[in-house]
Structure 1
Amino acid sequence: MTAPTTGALRTDGATLHYEVRGEGPLVLLIPGGSGGAAAFDGIADDLAADHTVATYDPRGLSRSPLDDPEAEQRVAEHADDAHRLIELLSPGEPAQVFGASSGGIAALHLLATRPERLARVVAHEPPVVEVLPDAADQRAFVDRVEATFRAEGLMPAMAVFAAGLSGPAGGAEGDGGARPGSGSALPPRAAARAERTMADLPYFIGRIVPRFMRYVPDVPLLKTLTDRLVVACGRDSRGELPHRAAARLAGRLGREPEHFPGGHVGLTTHPAEFGEHLRKLLRP
């Protein structure tokens, strides 16, 4: 694995840690869940053979501290962070963006607000549950996660969250696949990543989940931008909430979803196939 060049970017209310590999047109990779830049370690080097590949820790996670640690989070701020990275790394040239899960929601908002800066957006299983016919039930589910976290703490809230997504505990929101376990059995970078993922879970459950899963995408506007938008699902996650939401969004846009290898965390479980599939969707 090639060591990336790292940097820090000041934005409104946060300092973003970002990593860059390769040369060529910019591809910005936005992680989901409590995953950070390292969530893309399995695919970044291959993409960097003919692209500048950038990823980062979203604000409030890992190495991207907030100025106010208690600040509420908004999708619009996270999308603006992605825009600022594009302005820094690809001034004057449109970029391509891949967003996983909650990162896919940020990517959708970025496309809706800054379409002139984007050549293509691939949103993999963004949990935009407000597009579903049972959106009211999903709002109640998010309310339960938030209330459980406040009253009982992290692990009971994680159990409610995992049950509602009908996916494996801790893995269904695009955390990049890092799992708790014995850090001593992992390579140093992987061990550090696992530690960061666990440390970031309270922030993710307490402030990312409630805001991102209440996000309402601008479907009529996105429908005018489908020439540069790909909504994607995992081949193995049918029936799970993020898959249902993404497939429904694609249908509302008049498109079929693109299917990637694996499930919601196919990025981690099938990195070679996942990366190759993404490469085929990127514009030259």
Structure 2
Amino acid sequence: MQRGQQGTIATEGAELYYESCGEGPPVLIIQGGVGEAGATAQLAETLAQHYRVISYDRRGLSRSPASVEAPPIAMSLHAADAAALLTAVCREPARVVGASIGALIGLHLAVQHPGLVATLVAHEPPMSAVVHDPAQEAALDRVADLARQDVRAAIRHMASLTGNGQAVAEEGARPAPPIGDIDTTLSHFFHHDFPAVRAATLDAAQIAAVAGSTTIIPTGGTASRGQWEYRCAAHLAHELGRTLIELPGGHNGLISHPWATAAELRRLFTQAESS
């Protein structure tokens, strides 16, 4: 990301690192997986031609240390972090884009703090409360077992479940290199974030209750059709009375297809604002 601004804000038991670029209406990107603030740098730089784009390291990752006295990590705590960041750096409700765990955090944010979110694009949120799939649960149990011995093997197996790497990336698209130590980051993810996602109970009815004040747009990747996270997005869209929107690429499309995704996000934001 072009580093127009960097800073930190204090939240309950943690200090969040954030960075932003561009000027205009605020857009918050909530990263998926173990992504740091700059993971979607190419997407952010493209959106920054029209918006002020903000991203951050989740608590416990890289430049966002959490204290040993911090509360146990849950999706509601991550949502509170995102709310604290928006309150600190934005003067108006933001457009929020989240992928995977970032989408689930975004949905919790919209439910807990609807006044802070104008539009939410939730890309393939992993939601057992929306689509309960015993085969998927067994596969995630296997990921958890692997993580106790080898976090790198666990993340490889997890990526195989989402179909990451199957979509052909846009020419020139590349992930940003990680800033923090990858093994430390993965250990934190599997010890805290992974079980928090699996324990989340947010359902479509709770989300529908705020859909009148916040435009919620579930999306799936064109290369993800049939995958569990895509089916979660499709079912959520159906429950909200919306048509599922497809974004280029797969589960990791915000990184693999930054320019095509930026164009589609601009269209969605404009459409939401005019409706």
* Normalised-by-shorter TM-score class: 0.7 to 0.9
Judge conservation of contact 1:125–1:245 (CA < 8 Å) in 2: yes
1:226 corresponds to 2:211: yes
Counterpart of 1:155?
152
User: CA offsets, 1:47-99, max 9 Å, x none?
Assistant: 222222110011111111111299642111100111011101124x2111111
Match of 1:261 among 245, 248, 251: 248
Deviations 1:230-274 (A, max 9, x none): 001101111222212211222222222111011111112211111
Is 1:59 matched up with 2:67? Answer: no
1:7 corresponds to = 7
How do residues 1-284 of structure 1 correspond to structure 2 at under 5 angstroms? Answer: 2-68=2-68, 72-91=72-91, 93-134=92-133, 136-150=134-148, 152-168=149-165, 178=175, 190-191=176-177, 193=178, 196-197=181-182, 199-227=184-212, 228-283=215-270
Contact 2:12–2:70 (8 Å) recurs in 1 = no
Q: 1:279 to 1:143 in 2, by over 3 A?
A: same
In the TM superposition, structure 1's runs of 4+ consecutive aligned residues that sit over 4 Å from their partners are: 166-169, 194-199
Q: Which runs of 5+ in 2 are unaligned?
A: 167-172
- 2:43 aligned counterpart, secondary structure: helix
Q: Which structure's residues are more often helix, by fraction? A: 1
- Quickly say closer, same or farther: Cα 1:129–1:39, change in 2 above 3 A: same
Give the 3-state SS of the residue equivalent to 2:15 in structure 1. Answer: strand
Cα drift, residue 35 of structure 1: 0.5
Structure 1 residue 177: deviation in Å? 6.7
Aligned partner of 1:157: which letter? A
Aligned residues of 1:139 and 1:214 also touching (Cα < 8 A):
no
Distance 1:195 1:88 in 2: 25
TM-score for the superposition, normalised by structure 1: 0.84
Q: For 1:60 and 1:128, how far apart are their aligned partners in 2?
A: 22
Q: Give the conservation status (yes or no) of the 8 Å contact 1:177–1:265.
A: no
Instruction: Tell me if the contact between 1:236 and 1:262 (Cα under 8 Å) persists in the aligned partners.
Output: yes
Change (3 A) 1:58 1:39: same
Q: 3-state DSSP class of the match of 2:40? A: helix
Please list the CA deviations of residues 186-236 of structure 1 after superposition, one character each: whole Å capped at 9, or x if unmatched. xxxx44x27644541222223211211332223113123335100011011
Using structure 2 for the length normalisation, give the TM-score.
Answer: 0.86
Q: Which residue of 2 aligns with 1:181?
A: none
Indicate conservation of the 8 Å contact 2:162/2:251, yes or no.
Answer: no
When the two structures are aligned, how many residues end up with a matched partner? Answer: 263
Q: State whether residues 13 and 70 of structure 2, in contact with CA within 8 Å, keep that contact through their aligned partners in structure 1.
A: no
CA contact (8 A) 1:111 1:121 kept: yes
Give SS of 1:129's match.
Answer: coil
Contact 1:30 1:98 in 2 (8 A): yes
* Distance verdict in 2 for CA 1:109–1:214, change over 3 Å: same
Asked if the contact 1:146/1:206 (under 8 Å) is kept, the reply is no
The 1-side partners of 2:146 and 2:69 are apart by 21
User: What are the superposed Cα offsets for residues 88-119 of structure 1, whole Å, 9 maximum, x if unpaired?
Assistant: 1124x211111111000000001111112211
Q: Percent identity?
A: 36
**Cα distance in 2 for residues equivalent to 1:225 and 1:177:** 36
